[in-house]
Amino acid sequence: MTDYGVLADRLSGSLQAGSPARKRLARNGIDPAALYESVKVHVEEEVTKANEELRKRGLSTIERIFIPGFLGRISLTFGTALLCSVELNESKGRVRAVIFGPPNRDEISRKDFYLTQEAADLQGSTFDETEKVAIGYSPERIAAEIVSALMMREFA
């Protein structure tokens, strides 16, 4: 018989201890979860600004959608063809934004926003030419890049 009390205690202890990556980022003065929450707020502000301009020109607007299986992830659509997914990967110290589009919801563009130089580990990683990387961006700049990339259909 499984003792769920023991499992709950272990889970509680591991959640309080936090991951090594989170501790490393905390030493650098960065709380990934707080930064991601700030990114979400700024994305909402940028979407509002962009939609104002899009409406003036009679174009489709950007909408935030809530997908039940993806709580904690920001999902934005532009028109009926484009979807942008933004999520936090605490263990790697990054916010990843991916734009999907036609013909079959294929990935069009992706950009990783690393919170610190150490999290990026540019020497140890093998980035291909299609993957775009940014390091140390503010939440405001991350949000602006995400919204503008969705409108332009790719990350700069």
Note the pLDDT of residue 131.
67
Q: Are 139 and 38 in contact (CB under 8 A)?
A: yes
Say whether pTM exceeds 0.85.
no
Q: What percent of the chain has pLDDT over 70?
A: 71
Range with the poorest average pLDDT among 42-46, 70-74, 79-83, 105-109: 70-74
Greatest Cα pair distance in the chain: 64
Q: Find out whether the peptide bond into 103 is cis, omega within 30 degrees of 0.
A: yes
pLDDT attached to residue 92? 85
pLDDT tier at 132, thresholds 50, 70, 90: confident
Q: In the predicted model, what is the mean pLDDT of residues 26-51? A: 85
Nearest to 35 by CA among 93, 119, 97: 93
Instruction: Please state, in angstroms and rounded to a whole number, the distance separating the CA atoms of residues 25 and 34.
Output: 12
Supply φ then ψ for residue 103, to 5 degrees: -90, -30
Q: Bigger pLDDT: 68 or 28? A: 68
**C-alpha separations of 121 from 30, 37, 40 in Å:** 17, 24, 25
- Per-residue pLDDT tens digits for 12-38: 665 454 555 455 555 556 788 888 999
Question: What is the model's pLDDT at position 123?
Answer: 47
The values of phi and psi at residue 2, to 5°, are -85, 135
Q: Phi, psi at residue 98, to the nearest 5°?
A: -130, 135
What is the DSSP-derived secondary structure letter of residue 96? E
